[in-house]
Structure 1
Amino acid sequence: MKIRAKIVLLVLPLLIAPLAISGLVSSYSARNGITQVAVQFLRFKAEEIRKYAAQQWAILQENNLSGDDYFVDVARKAVEGYASGTVRGPTELVVGFEPSGVIGMGSSKLEPVPSETEAIVAMIGAGREGWVRVRLGGFDRVAEAMFLPDFGWYVLVSEREDRFYQAVDEILKRNTLIIVVSAFMAALLLGWFSSYMTNPIRNLERTMARVMETNNLGLRAEIKYSDEIGHLAASFNGMASALSEAYGQIKSYALKAALSQRQERKVRNIFQKYVPVSVIEQFFSRPEAQLSGDERILTVLFSDIVGFTGISEQLTPTEVVDSLNHYFERMVEIITGSKGIVDKYIGDAIMAFFGAPVSSGHDALDGVTAALEMLESLDEFNRWQASKGRLPFHSGIGLNHGKVTIGNIGSDKKMDYTVIGDMVNIASRIEGLTRRYDEPLLVSFPVYLEVRSRFPCQYIDKVAVKGRRSAVSIFGVRREIDAVRGKALKIYHAGIRRYYDRRFEEAGRDFGTALSMQPDDKAMATFARRCSAFIKDPPPSGWTGVVVMCEK
């Protein structure tokens, strides 16, 4: 930037600043006043809705109807109608969200995009109430947020932000126009004045340009004056001499740096075959933290080849290694493609995790997607096996989601970037249950909560795995199902709820209906047999329905 421009940029703000400050103060004063009005306006409506909802719930409780879904739904619609009645303009909106982000009620139709739904779910999880700014239906809104716990709603009483601040925008436009015109006039005057002052410097500038064009540090500027410009030329000459001396040192340092980078690339290329690239990057950026650990919430996947011992007995050692290498190559590519990291190989088993070193924000979904792709890729792999005259592979996969300890664990001579903890052990036990329940993919309840909106899931059982007293609910997952199976699962899950409520006759009828639609479903058949047994011989009073596993 030329000195002339610098003078303009230095002086111009001194002229424009008072105008700008005045405009900003008036704009923000107006905005604050409007905001206070908006807060009181929306807060009043929110309080009225809260009072009405409380009255409706009190009526339900007084009549012992708070547990009746029909009357609760009537009360919900009454609250929704009351909330709609508080709306006084086309841009106002009252909307209530379920904890999952699904809209439970609204004064008008609203179809939020996924990013807006995720923001709402985050606000619900953080328990935010009061004055908030939110984006809904493609518009920025100001809102009064509150929870209606009786109805399970997170309610936003909102108005479009541009409606509230329209007057402020007009004030801001006028102030901006005044500032722009003033700045233009001041810039013209300052440009003329600075051009007069900077002419002597241009001669020195041309000398510097010749040095840069020719890369000849031996050129020197002519010193004509003993004023500040002359001192500047002398300083330039001294700098050129110093740069000439330093140039030799710079070349030496550049050579050393290039050799160091080349060596680092060799190390990366060697170790990325054994350690994830992200972990290598983490090591080079913070080598002092290589032995540290961290608690994280992530998803762990275990995969095992069913009956591999019997298969390997029919193959030569070379064939076993060849088959495993082809199998692992396909599976690892799928895992890494879904943002996962392969922790280790345990014989023919694979242990992987999703969410570290960097979380994608939907690690459980990444893990289940990878598991489904792994199962689907077995068809192509088994065709390759058949072409070699070898038996097919069948996998069992288990996933769990929760808190683990993760880091480079070991010593300075040998370490692994791995995860440990009770959650990891449960994931391994769930994978072992795939054989018992004849389900290729089983996931825990935390994983089910993360993926149920994306993939059809089937409740399988509630078990106490070996080594744990507390029960774990397990679910099967499919990529997609047809309409008949979808209807059967709906009936089946209704039966599951009645089963754990000890309503065995009703549950048995549900399981029988579902089983007639899906006769090969083993989970449906299992619960149907249990109901038949419990109808004849009911379980004790302390029965919880938990199946205790004595094997891994």
Structure 2
Amino acid sequence: MSGSQSGFFQKVGSTRVVPLYGKIVLLFVFFLLVSNFTTNYINLVLNRSQQVKLMNELLVKELKENYITASTQFDVYSYDQKLEESQKALAQAALPSLTRANSMAFGVRDDGSFLYFASPTLKWTSFPDQTALQKLISLRDAGTSEGPIEFQAGGQNFFGYYKYQKGWNVFLVRAEDQQVFLAASWSIFWVVGLLILVITLVTLVLSVWLLRHLFRYVDLITKSLMEMQESQELSSITLHGAPNDDITYLGLSFNALSSTIRNLMNIFRKFVTQDVASRAYKERQIKLEGTKQELTILFTDIKGFTYMTETLGNDIIKLLNLHYDKAIRHI
């Protein structure tokens, strides 16, 4: 099994190893995006409620102005009986306040026909929602001559305010297209969302750079462990200049463990051959039960061994190892 690096990932054999800082960055970005978009959506809902409230106040104000204009034009009409001119004057007076697409102001009779209709984009000849109109008539008959109104036309929803004008016998209505009105807030939402993504991207780049710097010794430890696994040899990890933190402590602990294992292996090699020691290290086990093999055995006697033992003392072990090393080569 060998260690290698491929792009963002490191590999041990066929297993991809994702850097720790990568997981931290991805988790951080995920929670950052969720938090920001959730906050943005909550702000959208709260601001939309405030916008609706302000729009309703504006609609009521403009409806009152239209009502005053309608009352004045009724007096004019009562004097000159010029209906078309009064209708034209009512529509022209309402148009300046209709700044949005599908904004409208109109006066509707009980039969659904218009006294006048003003809109920058729409061209209606009669009121399309008879259910809403019948509701207005019922409210008027019950004594309610003004209030909020909601109606539908062509699959679109409209909201606004109405006020009954007794002289003309019409319901004066000032209304807005709900979808068009809310589209502005959605546009703001997506613009803010785009800014959040840009800021998150910048934060991501800075976070990767910062975390790679902070976790550079994690990469060093990981790389060193992969090299040891590939070479099947234990060694110490170089930690010069490492900060005094838990990652450095982890590396130092590994170095201490590695040193202990190397010392044990050195002791073990004094009692077995290099091949046996290497095989035991790679196979992670020592088979003491023995194996059946064909062997060549050489019996030798070292001349003057007793005298050399008395003379050399403990150094006789070195002499024996030297003898075994040369003798085994000829077997």
- Higher strand proportion, which one? 1
Q: Work out whether the TM-score is over 0.5.
A: no
Greater RCO structure (CA 8 Å; 6+ sep): 2
Greater gyration radius = 2
Q: TM-score range by the shorter chain?
A: 0.3 to 0.5
TM-score (norm 2): 0.39
TM-score (norm 1): 0.25
